[in-house]
Amino acid sequence: MMWILFLAMLQTVVVRPGSPLIRYDLVRSSHDFYRNTITDSSGAIRYDFMMEDFTVVDTARGRIVFARSRQVPPGSFSTDTSETDLWLRPVRMHEAHFQRGVSFDMTFGDTVASVRTLRNGVATVRNYPMQPGYFEDNMIEYIFGYVDWQKGVTYVLDNFNKDAPKPSDPYTIEYAFDDRLMQKTCTVLRFVRGSGTGYIWIDKATRKVLKQVGNFGSLNYVMVLE
């Protein structure tokens, strides 16, 4: 209770791996499907695809694995697998785009993220400096349901993203409002990342992400749990 009252007195809170705001006890192994629809500025559908998501909690190894796969555009298959410790500190990530002949193998330390790129059989390595306490881009959205968000507080989560102009690509998040979706009571978060903004619906009972809407560049997207 004292921790919640203290948060209410602050305007901005930084959430890092290991933060007491994260309900690690609620992270469970799961298998889900999300439908993703991406439209351009005219409303025309550019991509419509299903994404398969796995979360695997391996307490014996002290690891959590977040894995996704999709075909977008049709016939072009890609996967990414992120591994963290039980406090959601990033350890490793592997991403593969099979038809393009490109894969990425990333390892993470406290102050550096190392990316090994294999493109058509040619390997290169690049190291990115980071501040301690960052998350990793391919898994960060999984944890939004497990944070104890409070109204009136702005939260910042640093995030490593090799594809951003700068490797530190943080999320700024606020508890926007409560809503009903899929016959469930939801917490709705508003987020800002770079020039993109959006909303995330989280089931209050299960902490599962039910829906996300947002934009990146000239494209808009909707992601819905099936």
In this predicted model, what pLDDT tens digit does every residue of 172-210 receive, in sequence order? Answer: 999 999 999 999 999 999 999 998 999 999 999 999 999
In this prediction, residue 10 carries a pLDDT of 56
Largest Cα span, the chain: 55
For the chain, where are the E strands, in sequence order? 12-14, 30-39, 45-58, 63-71, 77-85, 90-97, 102-108, 112-119, 122-129, 135-136, 154-157, 159-160, 171-181, 184-193, 196-203, 209-216, 219-225
Domain ranges for the chain, please list them. 2-225
SS3 188: strand
Identity at 98, one-letter amino acid code: F
For 46-67, the pLDDT digits (tens) are 999 999 999 999 999 999 999 9
* Beta-bridge partner residues of 89: none
Model confidence pLDDT, tens digit, residues 96-141: 999 889 999 999 999 999 999 999 999 999 999 999 999 999 999 9
What architecture is domain 2-225? Clam (2.50)
